């Protein structure tokens, strides 16, 4: 996806990065266009090795509040999950935030084989999809076993805190303030959205323990190969949050097999997840997808997305709002 936030590198800059990290130049490179925030390149090094380079913007000025510290978050979270030894991730070769080689953060990681699940899913049998979803449920339950000391963004932030109701509403308010700053017209009044958030406080308050979630764990961030979930990627938006906020539990979630795999893995942990009463869980599952819908609409004005995508994001938020109101009334 084209975005004004992406930093384009020259061949000379990529060559300098390759020399520092690997001790050899880059024979050729290809820009990877799937990402929405940071630039990414597939590198073929002079000695034949392959790697992927991810590059942040030179400055966070003009970024949304929820998009600060993305690259550092991604690197730290990946290293933390790799320490489990049970969740497949690409190896990180190096991370440089010195801005001495190029004027921006970057890191290099393993080049993955296979393809992303969103591209492969329609070509896979129902049985194989169920198998992949089951395995993914288990992987995410392991990630959710990592506990934090406060809710909120992965890195320290003034919005973070000990009470999930306060923190989740603060996360929403960050996006809403970005929308107000950019004069984004939403399909509902900002005040109306704020009032609905307040009505959900009791359900949010039942979540007591901050747990690590990927959050942006849609199928485009899952690599598959030979009918298996091969690797998870793109942890830049990881949060300390309620596990029910994970993509797999949302409106576009994977399948019943995902939740079955999650519950099967959950048997090895104590206490079991998710927290709260059934009614509380239903309210939260209706609420969380709207956070993503809101981000996808507001970010259009910050990244310079075209009118077609902006209209899609507006309509998606409107549909998500209506879905939330109907679900909230039914529980």
Pick the CATH number of 115-330 from 2.40.37.10, 1.20.1630.10, 3.90.1200.10, 3.20.20.70: 3.90.1200.10
The fraction of the chain above a pLDDT of 70, given in percent, is: 98
Q: Of how many residues is the chain composed?
A: 331
pLDDT of residue 322: 95
pTM above threshold 0.85: yes
Please list, in sequence order, all residues whose beta carbon lies within 8 angstroms of the beta carbon of residue 2, skipping any fewer than 6 positions away.
33, 304
More confident residue, 330 or 280: 280
pLDDT tens for 110-119 read 999 999 999 9
Q: Are 43 and 50 in contact (CB under 8 A)?
A: yes
Looking at residue 1, its pLDDT comes to 47
Residue 4: how many CB atoms within 10 A of its CB? 10
Averaged confidence pLDDT in the chain: 94
Residue 238 phi/psi, 5-degree rounding, is -60, 150
pLDDT tens readout for residues 193-251: 999 999 999 999 999 999 999 999 999 999 999 999 999 999 999 999 999 999 999 87
* Res 59: pLDDT: 87
Asked if 226 contacts 105 with a C-beta cutoff of 8 angstroms, the reply is no
pLDDT of residue 130: 96
Q: Is 155 exposed, middle or buried (0-12, 13-18, 19+ CB in 10 A)?
A: middle
Instruction: Note the Cα 71 to chain centre separation in Å.
Output: 12
Residue range(s) of every CATH 3.90.1200.10 domain in the chain: 115-330
HEC readout, 181-247: HCCCCCCCCHHHHHHHHHHCHHHHHCCCCCEEECCCCCHHHEEEECCEEEEECCCCCCEEECHHHCH
Residue listed under structure tokens 């390149």:
41
Q: Which CATH class is domain 11-109?
A: alpha beta
Cα separations in angstroms, 30 against 27, 40, 45, 52, 77:
11, 9, 12, 10, 26
Task: State mean pLDDT over 282-296.
Answer: 95
Residue ranges of the chain assigned to CATH 3.30.200.20: 11-109
């Amino acid at each position: 996806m084209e975005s004004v936030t992406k930093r384009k590198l020259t061949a000379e800059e990529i060559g300098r990065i390759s020399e520092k990290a690997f001790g050899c130049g880059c024979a050729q490179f290809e820009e990877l266009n799937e990402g929405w925030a940071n630039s990414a390149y597939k590198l073929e090094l002079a000695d034949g090795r392959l790697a992927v380079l991810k590059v942040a913007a030179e400055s966070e000025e003009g970024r949304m509040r929820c998009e600060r510290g993305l690259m550092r978050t991604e690197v730290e979270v990946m290293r933390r999950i790799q320490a489990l030894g049970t969740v497949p991730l690409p190896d990180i070769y190096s991370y440089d935030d010195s801005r001495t080689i190029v004027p921006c953060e970057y890191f290099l990681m393993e080049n993955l084989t296979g393809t992303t699940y969103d591209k492969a899913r329609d070509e896979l049998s129902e049985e194989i999809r169920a198998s992949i979803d089951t395995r993914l449920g288990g992987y995410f339950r392991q990630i959710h076993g990592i506990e934090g000391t406060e809710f909120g963004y992965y890195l320290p932030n003034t919005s973070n805190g000990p009470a999930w109701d306060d923190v989740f509403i603060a996360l929403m308010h960050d996006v809403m303030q970005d929308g107000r700053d950019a004069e984004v017209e939403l399909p509902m009044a900002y005040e109306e959205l704020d009032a609905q958030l307040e009505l959900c406080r009791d359900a949010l308050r039942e979540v007591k323990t901050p747990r690590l979630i990927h959050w942006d764990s849609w199928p485009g961030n899952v690599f598959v190969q030979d009918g298996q979930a091969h690797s998870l990627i793109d942890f830049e938006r990881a949060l300390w949050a309620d596990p029910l906020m994970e993509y797999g539990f949302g409106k576009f979630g994977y399948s019943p097999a995902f939740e079955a795999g999650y519950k099967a893995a959950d048997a090895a942990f104590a206490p079991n997840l998710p927290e709260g009463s059934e009614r509380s869980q239903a309210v939260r599952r209706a609420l969380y997808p709207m956070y993503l819908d809101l981000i996808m609409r507001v970010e259009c004005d910050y990244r310079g997305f075209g009118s077609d995508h902006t209209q899609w994001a507006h309509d998606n938020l409107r549909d998500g709002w209506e879905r939330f109101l109907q679900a909230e009334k039914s529980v």
